[in-house]
Amino acid sequence: MSTATLTQIEEYLRKLSPEEQQLVLAFVADLARKQEPAAAFSTMLASEAVLRRDWDRPEEEEAWKGL
């Protein structure tokens, strides 16, 4: 997000009542919380390829074949 956009948001926020600012804060906090699982999922997907090198070895297949 550009600085100009943040400045514009601040200008709008200053015009709101304290109650309205609380609503905006709750909304923004909710948006941020929704991003956290997406980031964790992206990290999981990124690490899968690296871990696959260890998982897909014959030694690992032998060790886990009884399960």
pLDDT band at 1 (very low <50, low <70, confident <90, very high): low
Question: Rounded to whole angstroms, how far apart are CA atoms 40 and 6?
Answer: 26
Does the pTM exceed 0.95? Answer: no
Residues 26-50: tens digit of each pLDDT: 999 999 888 777 777 888 888 888 8
Task: Locate 47 and state its tokens.
Answer: 């690490």
Q: What integer pLDDT is reported at residue 8 of this predicted model?
A: 93
Question: Rounded to whole angstroms, how far apart are CA atoms 67 and 58?
Answer: 15
pLDDT band at 9 (very low <50, low <70, confident <90, very high): very high
